[in-house]
Structures are given as C-alpha cells and as structure tokens.
Amino acid sequence: MKKIINKPEDFVDEFVEGILLAHPDLVKTPGDDLRVLVRADAPLTGKVGIVTGGGSGHLPLFKGYVGKGLCSGVAIGNVFSSPSSDQIFEATKAVDGGAGVLYLYGNYGGDVFNFDLAGDLAELEGIETRTVLGRDDVASQPKDRRLDRRGVAGIFFAYKAAGAAAERGDSLDQVAAVAEDVVDHTATMGVGLAPTILPTTGRPSFELPDGEMEIGIGIHGEPGSRRGPLETADEIADHVVGALLEDLGLGEGARVAVLVNGLGATPLEELYLLYRRTHQILAERGIEIVRPYVGEYATSLEMAGASISLLELDDARLQLLDAPALSPFFQER
C-alpha cells in the first residue's frame, strides 16, 4: 500500500509537528521533545491536570483530545508503542497546577509499566497522581475479568467526563471517581475487515483473508472473538450491539450515548449504516439514545472496520458529556 510519508523513522515527529503548526492556539510542547504535547494554556493553577498517552497511529486518539474540557497533556509513543516514562513525567510536570494529575489511558502492558514509573517520579517531585484505565473492549475478556480488558474507542467518554470535572474545579479524587464511573458504564466491540500497513515495516499488522471479517478485533490487530465470512451491516450491528447490551445489562427505560467509530479506512456512509441499525435495535428495546457520535474517534491508521460503544447515562454523566470542550479534533460548545 502506498503512503504519503517521508522517512518512516520521522513519521511520528513530523505529523506531531504538523499538529503544532496547524493548532498553535490549542496545543504546545513544553520543551524540545515533540513527543510531549499539552494544552496551550497549561498549567491551570488550582485545577487537576489529566495526562493520557499511548502509541501513535490512532488519531484522534490520544493526542487529538488535548484541550479545554478534555485532557491537559499527552505523551506520544512510536506507532503502536508506548511512550517513555520520561515523556509521561515531562507531561505531568507541564500540566500540574498544584491540584494533582490524573493518568487516564488504555489498559496495555507497556503503557501501564511506563505510566507507573512516571507516577513514581512525580511523587518524588511532590506531584500527587491517580490512575484510571480505559478497559471497554468486551471482546478482550469476559465480564468477570473486566479489569483486564483492553481500552479502545470508549475511552473518549472518559476523557469527556473527566475533562469536564477537572474544568469545573473538582478535586483529584473526584475527577478520578468520575473517570472510573464512566469507564465502568462503557462497553465497546469492534469489527475488522482489513489490516493496517505499518509505516516502519511496510507490512500488515495482521492477516485476514479476502471476504472475511473479524469480530472483536483490537485496535492494534489483536485477535477478536471470531472470524468468518463478511456479513451485512445489519448483521454486524445485531451481533455487536447485542453483546454490548448483555454486557452492560441494559433494558427498557435505559438512556445511552452511542459512538460508532471508524478505524481509519471505512467510509462515513458505512458508519451511518451501522448507526441506523443500532438506533433500530435500541428503539425496539425501549432504550433511548440521548447523544449519538458517528465518525473517527479512535483509529488504527488505515485499518478497515469500525467499532460501536455504548455509555449508560444518568443525569450526572450526561451533564459532563454535554460540557464545553475544544481540542484540535473535537469541538463541543
């Protein structure tokens, strides 16, 4: 597959530089390391900072959600690789306004290891931290092992809620509790149709025969729950939404936010086909969609496929979801 790049080894630094040049009013780098971005107005004195991070290749996740009402900073790794503990620590120092810093990121081993190291470094500097892991991928582990699940597109809801809580002046413990609450009420499942091609190797991230799909695939190409012949949009939505409803235990009278997310190479028209059927299924079950989101929120370079996320809403979660937010890739006033 052809790619619009220069040297593969410069891919990450160059696209981050492009983001900085395009959005100087929203984000900045606090030092010389392009792998650390923070809000242009960071740090906010007296308010909790929120640091996220992870591998590149998932725009707008992770670096696209740095801004008002969202995350305060991000540490950026190579494609599908964790950022270093030093980069996470630099982001932590840059966003600390004296009220502590929440680490909010996906549940992946390398990220957990390096964020934990950064937290130790922050403690030595007198910066208090808390950690909440996105773990919404229902296909990665059964419900009785939900704490071991991967974090995927549903972490967007946690960014939105925790960012709003920090913006209104909540304490570190309160912001962490908001993030944990949203994570606990979010479920996601994806379907993959074709792999991404890694810029550094020119090779696909996984193999999938023509005419087949993989239900439950991860955003790095991790194995899903089953492979089989490509199904229709309605059949895919039936399977995915059914699994999400069962996992969350939702029934008549429930209210939800729905996120239909493209993985990078799926046309928006196809995402709306999935949303159409998702809306029909939920309406048939007496479940109200209060907030719909359709588009690319967490990608995997040019992987073909999509994911569907549900967040069970109550009044408190809805208020946070509706709060103003502004970043290079998200705007809600």
Distance between CA 216 and CA 208 in Å, rounded? Answer: 14
d(CA 23, CA 33): 17
Choose the catalytic residue: 23, 185, 220, 239. Answer: 220
- Catalytic, 23? Answer no
How many CA atoms, within 13 angstroms, populate the side-chain half-sphere of residue 306?
A: 26
Encoding tokens for residue 130? 């808390």
* Beta strand spans in 73-137 (E): 73-79, 101-106, 129-134
Instruction: Give the number of other Cβ atoms within 10 Å of residue 240's Cβ.
Output: 29
- Exposed e or buried b for every residue in 19-32, given b needs 16+ CB within 10 A? bbeebeebbbbbee
Cα(23)–Cα(167) distance, integer angstroms: 21
Q: Which of 58, 185, 239, 279 is catalytic?
A: 58
Task: Please provide the DSSP assignment of 207-273 as one string.
Answer: ---TTEEEET--TT----SEEEEPPPHHHHHHHHHHHHHHHHT--TT-EEEEEEEE-BSS-HHHHHH
Residue 58 is among the residues annotated as catalytic for this protein: yes
Active-site residues: which are they? 58, 220
